[in-house]
């Protein structure tokens, strides 16, 4: 198979996502009062409504409607005052009612958009970017200094309910294939679920991954779900097709179902794009089918050919009245909107004089954004504390993030690195007490020894000597010891400066402030 880059030379990849999110922060199910609890003993949170017993009547959960309206407002959707529920009919043991209650053509939220900022290596996947200049616009993107901004349309966000969970026994890895029997747990049946559908506006696997990450960050900020991909409260289907560059009609798509990690989303789409290109190049046909990404085998396999909407016989739910949301209700929800990641990034940029890049990456996680703000609150009580914004942003975006990534399950909260210690550490570096290289060493030591940066610097005798008098004495001595080298330097061999700096450092056991040494040497040699 060809590489992504080679494929994208000739084909345009078109990607649309369907993102399912369980509203885990609610206390009860969508249409009954059963408790929502992950990991409870099987079938302990059920009742006649979510078990679909005859005569049981659903009552909608108002808090769930608030959550979906929040999601819609946060993603620039139009809130539809009039929408209703439908029955999507299918028979499967995980759904005791034999139909799923969902929404029809009009959902609570319609026609929104999210802007994606793509930078660094992620931006390299986008075809045509290399030739474009900052400020230029093509397709749905605007080129920026360090990448581009892509406009991604959101078709709709609708409300539905989750099904129960099947557990298969006797087969391989709990799969249904080869299983001797299956059990069903209805605790999850009736869990409020929102499904967001994007327009086919994404063009690279990286854009798809960034979209999911950004959406997750928005939902977490709204507090409507714990968005755990491992536990399945956030999952998505990736739809992808190819078309020849220049073509306007969409190609036939395949759908990767139930993707449960950002990496799988990226890698699955990447594989599927390359596979489709190979099929098309060999004169074959892409069939509209559902495929499964197998991360260990690193390939996709067919699950089923696509069923059509007609098979479900969607019809209006007779037990639930159509909605008539009032302006007051929508405004009340709007008033609850917290500061969203984009707005927070803009504020960081202005308030702390940061670059767009730094601000954007600081708000990628709620925890790092809060940590940074707490650092700045503490720094502001110091003289010139505002100057620590950039060093602190670097520390968080690079070192802290790398440390968190390397230690899954580790959180900033409760870790040895308190905001106070981060400020102290960057203060030491900024003041020249330690070099930035030593700063990294102290950072690691803070985490390992749970000690204050100042104490570590003292205990290890790391202080740089920045006393001009002391350095000058050493510089004079070094120059006096090497009259021949001084002559050569003054004769034009300025590369010898490195030799002099090295000699000074040696005499000072590596603790001299290198900038000061350099400066004094240059003064005396000129």
By the criterion CB under 6 A, which residues form the site for ligand ADP? 14-18, 197-200, 239-241, 250-251, 253
Q: Which is nearer to ligand ADP, 276 or 464 (CB)?
A: 276
Letter string b/e over residues 253-266, b meaning 16 or more CB atoms within 10 A of that residue's CB: bbbbbebbbbebbb
Shortest distance, position 237 Cβ to ligand ADP, whole Å: 7
What are the residues facing 255 on neighbouring strands?
A: 239, 290
17 binds, among Zn ion, ligand ADP, none (CB under 5 to 8 A by kind): ligand ADP
Pick between residue 241 and residue 300 the one whose CB is nearest to ligand ADP.
Answer: 241
Dihedral sign of CA atoms 399, 403, 409, 415 in order? negative
Min separation Cβ 89 and ligand ADP, Å: 16
What value, to the nearest 5°, has the Cα angle with vertex 311 and ends 177 and 92?
40
- Sign of the alpha-carbon torsion through 481, 487, 488, 493: positive
Q: CB under 5 to 8 A by kind: which of ligand ADP, Zn ion, none does 240 bind?
A: ligand ADP
Q: Strand, coil or helix: what is 254?
A: strand
Length of the chain: 526
CA distance 314 to 87: 5
For 41, the 3-state DSSP assignment is coil
**Nearest CB to Zn ion, comparing residues 47 and 486:** 47
Of residues 50 and 400, the one with the C-beta less far from Zn ion: 50
Query: Using CB distances below 5 to 8 A depending on partner kind, what does residue 74 bind out of Zn ion, ligand ADP, none?
Result: none
Residue 16 beta carbon to ligand ADP: minimum distance, rounded to whole angstroms: 2
List phi, psi (to 5°) of 509.
50, 40
DSSP 116-167: EEEEGGGGGGSTT-TT--TT-EETTEEEETTEEEEEEEEEEEEEEE---EEE
Q: Which is nearer to ligand ADP, 17 or 423 (CB)?
A: 17
- Residue number, 49 or 516, with CB nearest to Zn ion: 49
C-beta nearest to ligand ADP: residue: 16
Min dist. Cβ of residue 276 to Zn ion (A): 43
The answer to whether 367 and 401 are in contact (CB under 8 A) is no
DSSP state of 483: H
CB of 199 to ligand ADP, least distance (A): 5
For the CB of residue 256, give the shortest distance to Zn ion in the complex, in Å: 32
Q: Which does 50 bind (CB under 5 to 8 A by kind): Zn ion, ligand ADP, none?
A: Zn ion
CB of 51 to ligand ADP, least distance (A): 28
Site for Zn ion, rule CB under 5 A: 32, 34, 47, 49-50
With CB under 5 to 8 Å by kind, the binding choice for 18 among Zn ion, ligand ADP, none is ligand ADP
Pairing assessment for the beta strands 85-89 and 99-103 based on DSSP bridges: antiparallel
The item of Zn ion, ligand ADP, none sharing an interface with residue 32, based on CB under 5 to 8 Å by kind, is Zn ion
Considering the complex, state which of residue 96 and residue 370 has its C-beta at the smaller distance from Zn ion: 96
Give CA–CA dist 331/329, Å, rounded: 5
Query: Based on CB atoms, which residue is closest to ligand ADP, 192 or 251?
Result: 251
- Report residue 389 as tokens: 């914004």
Task: Report what 198 binds from ligand ADP, Zn ion, none; CB cut-off 5-8 Å by kind.
Answer: ligand ADP
For ligand ADP, give the closer residue by CB, 249 or 327. 249
Question: From ligand ADP, Zn ion, none, which one binds at residue 241 (CB under 5 to 8 Å depending on kind)?
Answer: ligand ADP
Name the token pair of 421: 């210690």
What contacts 439, CB < 8 A, 6 or more positions away?
Answer: 425, 426, 428, 429
What's the token pair of residue 183? 């059990």
**Binding partner of residue 200 among Zn ion, ligand ADP, none, CB under 5 to 8 Å per kind?**
ligand ADP
CB of 317 to ligand ADP, least distance (A): 20
Sheet holding 315-316, edge to edge: 99-103, 85-89, 315-316
* Minimum distance from residue 185 beta carbon to Zn ion (Å): 13
């Amino acid at each position: 198979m060809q590489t992504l880059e080679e494929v994208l030379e000739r084909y345009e990849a078109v990607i649309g996502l369907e993102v399912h999110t369980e509203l885990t922060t609610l206390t009860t199910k969508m249409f009954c009062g059963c408790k929502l609890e992950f990991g409870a003993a099987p079938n302990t949170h059920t009742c006649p409504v979510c078990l679909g017993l005859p005569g049981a009547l659903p009552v909608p959960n108002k808090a769930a409607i608030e959550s979906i309206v929040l999601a819609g407002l946060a993603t620039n959707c139009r809130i539809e005052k009039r929408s209703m529920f439908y029955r999507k009919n299918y028979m499967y043991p995980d759904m005791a009612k034999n139909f799923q209650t969902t929404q029809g053509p009009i959902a609570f939220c319609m026609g929104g958009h999210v802007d994606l900022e793509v930078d660094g290596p992620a931006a390299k996947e986008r075809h045509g970017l290399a030739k474009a200049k900052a400020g230029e616009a093509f397709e749905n993107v605007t080129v920026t200094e360090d990448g581009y901004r892509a406009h991604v349309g959101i078709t709709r966000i609708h409300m539905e309910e989750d099904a129960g969970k099947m557990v298969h026994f006797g087969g391989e890895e709990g799969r249904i294939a080869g299983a001797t029997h299956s059990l069903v747990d209805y605790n999850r049946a009736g869990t409020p679920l929102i499904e967001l559908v994007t327009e086919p506006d994404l063009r690279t696997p990286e854009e798809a991954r960034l979209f999911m990450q950004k959406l997750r960050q928005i939902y977490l900020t709204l507090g409507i779900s714990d968005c755990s991909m491992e536990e399945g409260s956030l999952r998505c289907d990736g739809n992808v097709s190819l078309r020849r560059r220049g073509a306007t009609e969409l190609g036939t798509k395949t759908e990767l179902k139930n993707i449960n990690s950002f990496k799988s989303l990226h890698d699955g789409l990447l594989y599927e794009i390359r596979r489709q290109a190979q099929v098309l190049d060999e004169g074959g046909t892409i069939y509209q089918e559902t495929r499964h990404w197998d991360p260990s085998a690193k390939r996709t396999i067919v699950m089923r050919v696509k069923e059509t909407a007609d098979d479900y016989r969607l019809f209006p739910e007779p037990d639930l009245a159509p909605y008539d949301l009032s302006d007051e209700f929508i405004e009340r929800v709007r008033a609850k909107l917290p500061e969203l990641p984009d707005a927070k990034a803009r504020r960081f940029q202005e308030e702390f004089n940061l670059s767009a890049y730094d601000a954007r990456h600081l708000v990628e996680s709620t925890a790092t954004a809060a940590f940074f703000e707490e650092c700045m609150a503490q720094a502001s009580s110091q003289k010139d504390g505002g100057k620590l914004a950039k060093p602190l942003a670097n520390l968080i975006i690079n070192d802290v993030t790398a440390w968190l990534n390397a230690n899954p399950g580790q959180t900033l909260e409760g870790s040895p690195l308190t905001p106070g210690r981060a400020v102290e550490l960057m203060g030491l570096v900024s003041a020249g007490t330690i070099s930035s290289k030593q700063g990294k060493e102290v950072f690691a030591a803070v985490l390992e020894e749970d000690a204050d940066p100042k104490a570590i610097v003292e205990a290890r005798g790391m202080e740089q000597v920045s006393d001009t008098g002391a350095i000058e004495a050493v510089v004079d001595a070094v120059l006096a010891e090497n009259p021949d080298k001084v002559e050569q330097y003054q004769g034009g061999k300025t590369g010898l400066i490195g030799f002099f700096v090295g000699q000074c450092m040696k005499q000072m056991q590596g603790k001299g402030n290198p900038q000061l040494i350099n400066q004094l040497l240059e003064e005396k040699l000129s």
